[in-house]
Amino acid sequence: MPNAFNQRLENLPPEIWSKITKIEELKGQWIIGARLSPQVLGRLKRSVLVTSTGASTRIEGSRLSDEDIEKLMRGISIQKFADRDKQEVKGYYELLQNVFDSWKHIRFSENTTKHFHKELLKYVQKDRLHRGEYKKTENRVHMVDTQGKSVAVLFDTTPAYLTPKEMQELVEAAQNAFKENKYPPLLIIGNFLVEFLKIHPFQDGNGRISRILTNLLLLQAGYQYMPYVSHEKLIEDNKADYYLALRKSQKTLKTKPNIVPWLDFFLSLVYKQSQMAVELLSKENIEKLLSPKQIAVWEFLQTVAEASPKDISKNAKVAQPTVAQALDKLIRLKKVERIGLGRSTRYRKI
């Protein structure tokens, strides 16, 4: 492992180590307590796929809501958005789904990173010439607003001619660090991410690839709640702090490296994610409280914005009187709310 890496990680302040200890405690609680049924875990994963795809693409300037993405992935045409937004969303969703389903069989390597890039952009026509290839021209890291417009250049990146060499060194350093097991995986992953985003190896899609790799590496390090609480959504909710932490650390990397601002942000995010995962375990397991037909009603309501009793009956294949009983119970459990009165009454999940 390069000496520079050791120097970075040996002189970290106590609060960094304290956060790691807290995250490990919560990770242990999740492993011991993760007795949610496969149906509940399946639903959580489907929900996180939508939420994470929406958040990760919006960080880069896309304007699709989670509801738009859900419609898109169910094959419903959305005319109001540019093809590129829809193409990028589809690529991210499918790639993240593959990571969630197959992380045990994916080897972290340069080839994997390039393959992920190819998969991420496989539907984006304008990027077809550089999919899966390192950049050939210079790029910069821009902070974008909600309209997708650049509001600031955060930092310059590694020159294109040095990118293959720096990526090879970075990936090999991370691989060796995982094997040596001298440092906690969270530190190795945090260091890899700040370096990866400083190199910015691809012409486009670097931020999204970094978040896909975050999910993969944390899953492989034993943080098995990644598919059930969205990491990307937490970044979106703290976007200004995300950019600020990156900038503070990355501008030091070529002089006197200080990755503490970034590690502090990254570990705070993973800690919050760990807390949310453990909270899932303590919540009432709704599956145990509902009959199979009531579950069918509940599952259908999770796939739509709102629906009438007639729609629910038709799609859930449950008789209307049973639908009414199921809805009453779901309202009592504070899982569903009623909108409107009389014939226009509709229901939606809370």
Please report, in range form, the residues annotated as the binding site. 204-211, 242-243
CB 140 within 8 A of CB 157: yes
For this structure, is 142 an active site residue?
no
Give ∠ CA 58-64-65 in degrees, rounded to 5. 95
Using DSSP, state whether 131 is helix, strand or coil: coil
Q: Write the CB contacts of 52 (distance below 8 Å, at least 6 apart in sequence).
A: 96, 211, 215, 230, 231, 232, 233
Given 117, 130, 200, 231, which residue is catalytic? Answer: 200
Both structure tokens of 88: 């990028």
Pick from 298, 299, 321: nearest CA to 310? 321
The C-alpha torsion from 315 through 316 and 322 to 326, rounded to 10°, is -110
Q: What whole-number distance in Å separates Cα of residue 85 and Cα of residue 148?
A: 11
**What is the rounded end-to-end Cα distance, in angstroms, of the chain?**
50
Kindly list the catalytic residues: 200
